[in-house]
Amino acid sequence: MIDWWIIEKSLNKKLTPQEKKCFDEWLEATPKHRVLYDKIKYSGDMDNNAADFDRWRQAFQEKLTTRKRQEKKRIFLKLTVAAAVLFLFLGGGYWWFNMENKTHNTVETFAQEPNRGTVRLTTASGEVLNLSSEATSDVLKVDGAKIVKDQSTLIYEKAPEEPQSEQSGYNKIEVPKGAEYRLVLSDGTRIWLNSDTRLSYPTNFEKNVREVEIHGEAYFEVSHDTRKPFIVHTGELTVTVLGTEFNVNTRIPTHVRTTLVEGKVQVTFKEGIPYILTPGEMASTDVFSGQTTVEQVNIQKYIAWRHGRFCFEEATIEEIMQELSLWYDLQVEYQNQKVKQEKFSGYLPRGESVMSILQKIEQTSYVHFKRVQNKIIVGY
């Protein structure tokens, strides 16, 4: 959504260069914006549509007025808090120190972000390691393999030149909601694991194949090896590659999405028809019927998380809240069904607090968000 005064100035051809840039970006963001603008322009030119034109203008202006009123309240609140802080600081050091700590604790309890420190590794022998714990050694010996733990990355020792005749035991890494993790397998394949994801894999691959299993979402940079195909299992679906970059998402209960960035992959459901993807294509497979559709997509929408961003492209509020609830580990409540279908487009940093993200969505839509402890209430 864009403020009405920019639209009205565009109709009168009075936009400044900065306003024109803002207007052009809004106009090109989606075909719906151009259709809406054409309708407004047409109504403004035709006398018999003047009522529609006035109604649209009034709706835009009311929204703008509301937004300005909210902004004034925020500014007033900030000034009030700043004045109170200054008064308390001048009034007495010790008393201010105690009150500041109490206030800080209250705010933290209300706006608490998810615990991002519970990534676990389960070894083939059943041992469970907390990879985020400072007490966990930086160099591990797991199921006969040497592993280096470097910040949020687990690096397996490179496999020997002579391939093993038998595959070693499987490890399983579990990434909770609100966390991410990176993994380098023994063949050099790099994997980025999104929140709420589980990956099973061997410490070393066998002679003829490399196989892993995933539940959740991960981005793969597969080490090239024509002699040894790399296979990703997601229940009944398999993705087979030789060396490529792609994203697999099993979070949607009814579908598995495979998005190809570079190279070539083959997607197969059970013993069905194999589908070959080329860069920029996404295969969406129904997990019940096995029906697969392949389409060209904006890959940034599906891999932005790997670069620390949310990318929403004409996404419904329900889709957005599903994504945010996984990252921030929140519950969501809707005041009505209609608000779920409101749409938003934007490219937002995952490092910000959830309320900062939601405030940005509020500024460009009619949707309102309220946080109550660990729940977000969505309405108008």
Same-domain check for residues 133 and 184: yes
Average pLDDT over residues 141-154: 82
Same-domain check for residues 102 and 134: no
- Quote the pLDDT of residue 58: 60
27 or 165, higher pLDDT: 27
> Do 346 and 312 meet the contact criterion of CB atoms below 8 Å apart?
yes
Q: 155-197 pLDDT, tens per residue? A: 998 766 555 555 578 899 999 988 999 999 999 999 999 999 9
Same-domain check for residues 198 and 121: yes
Which of 161, 176, 207 terminates a domain? The answer is 207
> Do 200 and 212 meet the contact criterion of CB atoms below 8 Å apart?
yes
Domain assignment present for residue 343? The answer is yes
Residue 222 reports pLDDT greater than 90: yes
Write the CATH number for 318.
3.55.50.30
Domain assignment present for residue 234? The answer is no
Residue 365 reports pLDDT greater than 90: no
Domain holding 80, by residue range, is 4-110
Domain assignment present for residue 216? The answer is no
Same-domain check for residues 106 and 121: no
C-alpha distance from residue 290 to each of 150, 213, 231, 254, 296 (Å): 39, 18, 18, 10, 20
Same-domain check for residues 93 and 150: no
Residue 47 reports pLDDT greater than 80: no
State how many domains the chain has. 3
Same-domain check for residues 40 and 101: yes
Cβ burial, residue 118 (10 Å; 0-12/13-18/19+): middle
Same-domain check for residues 97 and 159: no
- Quote the pLDDT of residue 70: 52
Least confident segment among 13-27, 215-229, 278-292, 314-328: 13-27
Which of 207, 227, 252 terminates a domain? The answer is 207
Domain assignment present for residue 45? The answer is yes
Whether the predicted model's global pTM rises above the 0.75 cut: no
Predicted confidence band at 304 (pLDDT cuts at 50, 70, 90)? very high
